[in-house]
Structure 1
Amino acid sequence: MTTAREVMSGGADCVQSDQTVGDAVRLMADLGVGALPVCGKDNKIKGVVTDRDVVVKVLAPGRDVDSFPAGSLSQDQAVTIGADDDTEEVLATMTQHEVRRLPVIDGDQLVGMVAVADVARSLPHASTGQLVEALSAD
């Protein structure tokens, strides 16, 4: 059984919910990533902010990235996966919630992220194809 821990990109950073979208964008650029988990004051994951969220919800409506709170972009409930959950659960969760990136937690601590690219590198082509097809369907 292959686990999320084995396919994830480790060492994910969080943007705090009280930081600005500008802070999140700069951190994404520094790290070379397109998404960041959003963590609250309790350091628990509140959601994920993506580069697309920034464009659609902040820039397009003309909001200021340096005053708009990053926490305002996170979901009502964070979708995560346990580090020791198997990859079938990773695929099922990504498909069910139609997400391309999943924060990986061990207990309540962020330990990494699983992205579609991680799945593509680690799992059989058929599994990857089914995931991509499910995420691309309208």
Structure 2
Amino acid sequence: MKSIFLTAAALFSTLSLAAPVSATTEKINPVQHLLETRECYGCDLTNANLQGAHLIGVDLRKANLQGANLEEANLEGADLTGANLRSADLTGAFANGTTFDNANLTNADLSDANLYNAQVDSAVMIGTDISGADGFDINLGIGGEE
């Protein structure tokens, strides 16, 4: 009887230790992760709604933001190097000092965006709408690979 009790106690203590480990392996919402940590290197934010979000200085290098809504978002000082922004809506975005180097901006909407001191070297900008955008001192070198 004692051995059955000890075996049961050992089994339950092992299970109680395993439960917290499995809880940490739950999939974290990438939008929530971005807003909490200010970084989301290489993460998948496809079709994410970040309208009006304060993303000052965030690390979004190589992130997939295809179809994301970044309308009126504050991206000041954000790093979007190598990010996929295909068909993303950045209408009216505040992108001062933002880095878009090697980003895919194909069919992205940057109309009415504020792009002072933006870095856009080797970005793909096929069909990108920049009508009404305001910019100064932009490092622009279009022509990356799609």
- Higher normalized strand content (fraction of residues): 1
Bigger-Rg structure (1/2): 2
TM (norm. structure 2) is 0.20
| Structure with greater proportional helix content | 1
